[in-house]
Chains A and B, each alone.
Chain A
Amino acid sequence: MSRYGLAIDTTKCIGCHACQVACQNQNGLDVNQQFNWILERERGKSPSFDHEFIPVQCNHCESAPCQRVCPTAAIYTTPEGIVSVHPERCVGCKYCIEACPYKVRTVDHHRGIVTKCWLCIDLVRNGGEPACVTTCPNQVRVFGDLDDPQSRLSEFIAEHRAQPLRADLNTRPRIYYKRS
């Protein structure tokens, strides 16, 4: 069975927000709702400042804090390793939002539930890739199978020694970052 994940190369990201808009269109989200964000950070010092754009979305943690605290067991991990939500079980208590260290969950006020990135599993199961991956003009994101050492994703992670964000939190994210 595959275990899907992403690698994100922040050195290529230009902060164009195309991934965010593609995701909103793909998932039919409202204008003020999104499943991915671009954080910005200045680093370095004069005269070589660097402005880094860091796309973030659900990390699909293997030890997902949201899944552990959900009282209705609405949050589950699919066999492909994608952390997903049973919309009919969620009551909207928002405990998962408080528990998520990455703050990438959002309330869908139409359905009254908490929702988030699901790595476009509908596209992936039909042989495609998530909308944020295919839309990115700079190919910042690499999608693939973490369990397959030959996949482009695994090779990218190995080659660039990509690391998850805040690995010290022990949630074991499935999204890896190359940041320099």
Chain B
Amino acid sequence: MVENAWGWLIVTYLFLAGAGAGAFVAAVACDLLAPDWSKTLAQAGSLAAGPLVAVGTVCLVLDLEAGLWQPWRQIYLVSNLSSGITWGVIVLSLFIPVAFLYAAALNEITAVGRYLKKYVWHLEVVGSLLAVSTAAYTGILIAVVNGVPFWNTPLMPVLFMASAMSTGLAVAMIGAAIIDITTIRTLSNFALGHIIFLAVEALVLILFVFMSLTRSVEAAISANMLISGVLSPYFWVLVVILGILVPFALSFVEYYEYGAMPKYLVVGADLLVLVGGMSLRALIILSASPPQVV
């Protein structure tokens, strides 16, 4: 019996799509709320969003079989509006071009970008809606299947959304540090974003795991795999300690010791958020256990 059909390509897609969507939202938030001093962050977020989601989508396509060898079959992917994947294909096909156009417009890249400059606000509104849809959809995709009881909860999209926002902010902050290392001081302002998103993520994760323990026998099997079973070292070390607690503490210090934190710790905290986001998705996919049918 085939119990786990999805593997690392899908995990990578879930992570990259979430991080890309989050980076887009971070860029829009910076551009709208503080265009004067957070320019680099908006720049980095907008430049990262499109490519991340596009690479994620490539992973999704690589996971196909007949649809990969005979790509024209992919035209059928929009045939069934009751399927999460059909909606995902529609959202991704709209979001990827909008994200690239936004990057071009915000950074005035090429003639298209210069022309679109006056429509930046429109791209921000439409793009943000699509980015939120992309981030939520990665959670909804796996939440709506009753073949894996562990995933089958409305908390799943909330968890993925919180993780998407924190990984997206991390991507934008790392990008900003790469573009201009002197902005690292002003990044301290955004540590508040990490504090909020990581706190929400931790809260939803606690709810998710504890509720899974009592929700059904199968969900409890998966949850136990994470907290005390074969996957527990990865869960506690990569997701809880390195992915949430350490970056949370670092962001806290960063925010209150404005600009005083060494730059490798600022970027380190962001890298840890990414490690945590990827590990979270991997563990949720790998801990899937099917309904007990007999």
Contact = CB atoms under 8 A, between A and B. Distances in A.
Interface of A: 37, 39, 41, 52, 54, 56, 65, 68-74, 88-95, 97-107, 109, 111-113, 165-166, 169
18 contacts: A39-B294, A52-B294, A68-B80, A69-B145, A71-B79, A72-B76, A73-B76, A91-B76, A93-B64, A93-B67, A95-B83, A99-B145, A103-B1, A105-B2, A107-B5, A112-B69, A113-B66, A166-B293
Interface stretch (B42-50, B84-92, B186-194, B205-213): B84-92
B76 A69 contact: no
Contacts of A71: 76-80, 83-86, 89
Contacts of B83: 68-71, 95
B268 interface: no
A107 B79 contact: no
A167 to B, nearest CB: 11
Interface string B63-101: 111111110011011111011111001000000000000
Residue of B65, B74, B142, B290 with most partner-chain A CB within 10 A:
B65
B73 to A, nearest CB: 5
Interface residues of B, number: 37
Contacts, number: 125
B291 A169 contact: yes
Which are the 10 A-B pairs with shortest beta-carbon distances? A91-B67, A92-B65, A112-B65, A112-B66, A71-B85, A72-B76, A97-B5, A94-B5, A73-B79, A71-B83
B257 interface: no
Interface of B: 1-3, 5-6, 63-70, 73-74, 76-80, 82-86, 89, 142, 144-148, 288, 290-291, 293-294
Contacts of A90: 66-67, 73
A169 B290 CA distance: 12
